[in-house]
Amino acid sequence: MRTVYGLTFLCSIVLASMLPSQAQTLVGNDISVGIASPAGEASEFFKPGYSLAADFFMGLEDNMRVTVLLGYNRATLDNDALNQSSAGLSGAEFAVEGSATTIPIMIGLKLVPKKSGYKPYGVVEGGIVMYKSKVSGQYNRADGALVVLPGSTESRVEPGFNIGMGMLFPVGKDISLDIGLKYNWVKDGRYYNFEGGTSTYISTAQYFTFSVGLSFAYTE
């Protein structure tokens, strides 16, 4: 966890060095919770999970903000879906459980119009994703062999990219309700290679996050 805090602090220093010196600077924080929904191949074998995110932002121009994001997303393996698709996995029968977790640490740009009332926005982010997968249980291969999984856990760091849009609704002084949707991509999202299946691995490289949160913005 110290690595996460250290990287976030480093990103904040880099972000601050990018900003021009001016009398007043827009700064703030966003916090949100939501749903992480697997996409692509992952949508077949994973159940929707949950998403948590916090970011710090500063204004570069009237309608542009630079952000530092720290997130946490988790989805669980769908054993029933694996069995229902057994024809695609050589007729194997599964009794397994597992999860896939991503912790993105990213720098981004958010375009927010300078106007009163509600504000639509667009955001692009890039950085690293700390990826962790777990799987345990057993399955019978089509040839009748029983394969017992050792309860393996794998962790790695991968490049990642997000693109999204949302809406800010004022709810108080310097506070807005933030509703957003993002497409999230991880370079290498291989989950597990079930031996004897025609699919080489289950992928978790793509997912959507739908979030609701609060945005606190003020000038200093």
What integer is the mean pLDDT of 2-24? 47
The domain segmentation of the chain, as residue ranges, is: 2-16+25-219
pTM: predicted TM-score of the whole model, two decimal places: 0.81
Is pLDDT above 90 for 90? no
What integer is the mean pLDDT of 186-199? 67
Give the integer Cα–Cα distance in Å for 87 and 160.
32
Name the pLDDT band for 201 (thresholds 50, 70, 90).
low
pLDDT digits (tens, 9 = 90+) for 146-169: 888 877 788 889 999 999 999 999
Give the integer Cα–Cα distance in Å for 94 and 128.
33
Domain 2-16+25-219 has CATH 3.40.50.300: no
What integer is the mean pLDDT of 171-186? 94
- Of the two residues 85 and 34, the one the predictor is more confident about is 34
What integer is the mean pLDDT of 110-133? 92
The beta-strand segments (E) located in the chain are 26-38, 46-61, 64-77, 93-111, 119-140, 146-172, 175-186, 190-192, 202-203, 206-219
What's the whole-number average pLDDT of the chain? 82
Is pLDDT above 90 for 115? no
What integer is the mean pLDDT of 49-66? 92
Name the pLDDT band for 16 (thresholds 50, 70, 90).
very low
* 36-56: b (≥16 Cβ within 10 Å) or e: bbbbebbbbbbebbebbbebb
